[in-house]
Structure formats: structure tokens, C-alpha cells
Structure 1
């Protein structure tokens, strides 16, 4: 059984200090650390689902990201464990709200006989014993486990590393799961078209879903009034962002995806976009302070997402981490990750050749 050191550390702090560490400058805690520092690159992404699927359009971006050589890649999906938790509290998290974020695992459960907890444990065990040269049968089996565990993007990572002749049913994959993999592998999303394909190219075994919607489940008495207030704030902020949105749309139409990703990740562009959304919400004058509730939910979500990123490489000092996430998250991710010990946040502009 793994040892949990959290309570031990808290007890030691209480014994030595007797009070909270108010005013401690944590930014210097790792100044004389031993061992390698983790390098974390946050790539802000657009929503690709409504864009044309040009097979070669992503290649220049993928080449830049591959040169960074990440050994951990995280994606903006909810892990099967998280979806399993949400499903157990339908009165807290309405099923209609979580349906867009969580996959139906019934076909995988029928094929493997495993529910999400059992499949997650089996996938972790398989990865712990993973050979340097896995057989096609092992990859098919792990892909089936990932689907059953609610992590289909990691299943795609395995599927893409199979020779075409080995992309067939067997070893836990039935025809229904093969159909899921084929459909998922063709999806035009950042998780599958960028992260999963990059992971497969680099010979990684999985990606790490880090999204979390438990924190932004804002409870309000009048949902219609809340929605109207936030919409009004967005309308107020829209003129400020008009120029950058038009430029973004023009780059999308051009098909130059590297130029698009360079643009949306520029600090000055992000600054305008964030102010037009969350800054505008903070200026909401409603008596109920709906804008503040909206931003509180957003920040809670980002805190939980970043904690999931940290967990993805907590046992890997010196890891090279790529986090692919919607661009609105990037300023929060960069800020929060930069506060953590032994971590350097990498300048995405330099990686993409925009500096």
C-alpha cells in the first residue's frame, strides 16, 4: 500500500511552528533543490470541432511540439474516475449537464466485463508491467481497458501505434470497441487530433485527462437571471475582443494552424480575451454578484485541473510535460504552475517559433 505523507507533514508543521505559516515566501523554497526541475509547457488551443479536417494542417504544429519531447501529455477531458464520481451524485451533478463530458462505457463493460474502477486498476497494472516492445495483442488489450476506464483518448494512443494490419478486434476489443476507436481517432478535437497523435508519435503509452467540472457547479436560485447577467457581461466585453476574434477566424480559414496557435497563445491576445470574458464578469453590477460567482466557479475549476496536472507527474521529477487545453485556461495554468516547487513554465512562443 502506498504511504500517505500529507498528514505526517501537517503534523510536523504543527509541532514545529504551532501556527500557520503566514507570510512564508514559497517562491524561494526550491532555490537550492537537488535533482532536475520539471519543464511544463501549456498549449492554449482553439475548439477544432467546427474546422476543416485537413490531414496535413496540424503537421507543422505537431513537429514543433514533438521537438519539445514531452514525456507526459495532459488533455482537457474528464477522467473516467471523475465521470464515475459525477454519476454517483445525480442530484448534485445533473446527468444532462455532465453528458457532454463523459462517455458511455456500456459497450466496453460488456466487452471486458469491467466497470470503471476495475478497468482503471487493470490499466494501471498493465502499465506498471509494460514491456519495452509490446506486442499488438498487448496494445489491443490495453486499448480495451482504457475505453472501459473512461479514457478513450489513451485508447487511441495505443490504437495509432498498431500497424494497420493489426488494427482489428481481439484481445478485449470487439467490433463495437473497434468502431469507437476508429471514430474517436478521426475526431477533430485537440485531445485526439493533437495530444493523442503526438503521444503515439513519441511512443508514449497514454495521455492524462485532467478536466474537472465539480468546482464550477455554481448553485444559484435564479438560473435564468444568472445566465442573463453573464451574457450581458460578455456583450459588454465583446467590442474589446472584436479585432482578435476576427484575426483568429481569418487564420482558421487560411488553414495555417501553426500561425493560428502562435497567435492565440500570445500574451497580449490572451490578455484581451480574458478581460473581455472574466474581467467583464467581474464588472457585472447585478445585486446578486453573478459575475463573481461565475469567476469563482471558473477559478475553482482551474485549481482542480492544475492539481490534476501536478498529480500526473508527481512521481516523475524532471518530467517534460505538455498540457493541451482551451486557450482561456492558459493564463491560470501558467500562473498556478509557476507557483509550484521544482517547476519551470516553458515559454510556448519559443516552442512554436513565435519569439
Structure 2
């Protein structure tokens, strides 16, 4: 009895010590998802992030034909998924229900789908559900009527680029009214073809060439805040502008000024895209913008509020891409996004266990 009590007491004393040692070992172990890569069977998801300047800001004499070599480089890689910096129709529908916070965002980024709703009889959720029902059963030899109807559905769902993919797959003689497309929607699609926007001039023709049926909208603005006081708005603008006025920003402007002059031929534009996608630009992006904002010294930490918004937005954008990849593992994904997002996209995507990121300008060489 005496020895049993002694053993029990010793075990009781040893358990906390063992737990302390175990917890100490765990505390010293750093969990690094990007080093736990797989899978053991089957191909990894592959991603290339094409950082792009926003083509809408280019001069009016810029020709979409000068994007030819960039599109060809991407086509040669044969992506099976294309993701773009556009808010999805579903997210716009959500934000329209919260006007007190997102009124400005909706006005800036969300298309009016009322004409497509009238033509199809479907609102955004219903049109989205119908698309999800039809696409899995769509054959490569889909009829013109099916493609016109899908174009109408995508417009009703707030997915203009995907609607244009279906429209451009039609023979010109079949790009007409019918199957949900009325005069207003036909005119909208024809006008959309000429929009100087990377989603329209790079993603859409690439999807058509590759035989893809849709493009995925992965932008996210749910971190946008509602109206602030005039005092805070002024204070934030002044604090962040002051932070951005630094030596790294000056270096970045010199680099960008040189790149933005490369617009006069397909060869120059390819060179420009190589420059924008070079890893040498990453420190300049951080130091001129987000790093500078993080370290500005305003009493209300305006820079850190901006940084929090930026990181949240990137995380949610990447989670949208991850969601798409998770539905069909092992495919190649091309993510087309504004240049400043590129290093964050690559860093966050590389944390995913079964994702291989092609870093920098590797696919543009």
C-alpha cells in the first residue's frame, strides 16, 4: 500500500513536468505550410500570376493588338482556369443588400444587371444557379442557341467577361437577338468587345482560344468600409500621401515610367509585362506603398488601417482562387491581377499545400 501511494505521487509529479516539456517542444516548432507540399499521388495545382498595369489607364491610341505576344505566352502554358480582378456578381448582389457600407463600392464596381434580368426573368442568384446547372453538361459542340442563352445568363449573373466568352465563340452570323439576348444585351456585348481592360483584352480572347467556357471573378471588396468623417478622410489622405513620398517611391516611379513607354509594338508590350512581373519590382512595391503606410506615425494609425484593408483584400482574393482550384484539383490556373497584388498573391498561394507557384516572369520569357 505504501509503495503504491509513493508511485501514484511520483506519477502525479511527473505528469506536469512531461506536459511542460511537450508544450515547450511544440512552442519551438514552427508550422510552415509552404514546406509541407504534396500530394503524394496526382498532379499539384499550378498557378501563374500575371501582374498587369490597368489598361484602362493607357492612352487612347494604345492598340489591343499589341497584347498579342503576351496572350500567346499565356496560351502556350495552357491554363485550364482563368481568374480575374473583378468582383463576382454574387458578391455584388451581397453588397447591394448592405448599402450603408458598400454604396460607393457597388457604384464603382458592380454592373447593373436589371436589363439582363428583364430579358431572362432571372436575378443574380437564380442566373448563377442556372449557369452552375448547365455548364457541367455543355459539350464542345454546343449549339448557337445554347451559347446565346449562356451569354444572357452570365449577363444576368453579373459576369460580363464570361458572357463575352460565350458570345465570341459564336460565328458572327449567330451573334444576334434570341435565346435570352435582346437588342440591349446584344449592343452591350458588342460594346464590351472594345473595352480597354485586361479582363476583356487578355482573359477573354485567351479563354476563347483555349476552349474554356468561363472566367472566374475573384476580386473582393468586402473589406471596404463605409463613409468616414471628413476629418478622418482628410487625415488619412494626408498621412498616407506623406508616407508614400519616399525614396523607394521615387525609384519605383522611375522604373514604371520606363516600362509605361513600352507600348508601341507587341515586342515592346511583352517587354513591359516582363518588367512588371519581375521579382526585382517586389521590394519597390512594398517599400513605396504598404511598408511605408505601415510605419507612418499618425495618432489614429491611418496607414495601418489601410494596410489591414489591403492584406484582407488580398487574402480574400486568394481564398477565392483557392476555392476554385479546390473544385478541380491538379489544374493550371492563370490569375490576372494588378501589379501591386502580384507579390502578395504569390506569397499567399505558396502557403497552400498542393499548389506550385510559378514565380516572377518565368512564363513570359
Question: What's the TM-score, normalizing by structure 1?
Answer: 0.89
Aligned residue-pair number:
334
Shift of 1:132: 2.8
Name the residue aligned to 1:114.
122
SS at match of 1:313: helix
1:34 aligns to what? 41
Question: Are the aligned partners of 1:264 and 1:270 in contact in 2 as well (CA < 8 Å)?
Answer: no
RMSD over aligned Cα, in angstroms? 2.0
Structure of larger gyration radius: 2
Q: Please give the alpha-carbon distance, in whole angstroms, between the structure 2 residues aligned to 1:147 and 1:214.
A: 22
Question: Where does structure 2 lack aligned partners over 5 or more consecutive residues?
Answer: 1-25
- After TM superposition, the runs of 4+ consecutive aligned structure 1 residues lying more than 6 A away are 19-22
Deviation at 1:24, TM superposition (A): 3.3
2:359 is aligned with 1:347: yes
Task: Say whether the 8 Å CA contact 2:279–2:360 is kept in structure 1.
Answer: no
Change beyond 3 A, Cα 1:21–1:157 = farther
For 1:161-200, list aligned pairs within 5 A.
161-200=169-208
- Which structure dedicates a bigger proportion of its chain to helix? 2
Matched, 1:239 2:254: no
Q: Structure 2 CA distance, aligned partners of 1:124 and 1:155? A: 14
Residue in 2 that maps onto 1:49? 56
Please name the residue that 1:144 is paired with.
152
CA change 1:21–1:238 in 2 (3 A) is: closer
Q: Is the 8 A contact 1:119 1:146 kept in 2?
A: yes
Residues 249 and 284 in structure 2, CA contact (< 8 A), matched pair in contact too: no
Conserved? CA contact 1:216–1:298, under 8 Å: no
Match of 1:315 in 2: 327
Q: CA deviation at 1:226?
A: 1.1
In the alignment, the residues of structure 2 paired with residue 286 and residue 54 of structure 1 have an alpha-carbon distance, to the nearest angstrom, of: 44
What's the offset of the Cα at 1:227?
1.7
Question: Does residue 91 of the first structure (1) align with residue 103 of the second (2)?
Answer: no
Please, which runs of 5 or more residues in structure 1 have no aligned partner? 1-18
User: CA contact under 8 A between 2:38 and 2:353: conserved in structure 1?
Assistant: no
Q: Is the 8 A contact 2:62 2:263 kept in 1?
A: no
For the 8 Å contact 1:265–1:348, the answer to whether it is kept is: yes
- Give the equivalent residue in structure 1 for 2:233: 223
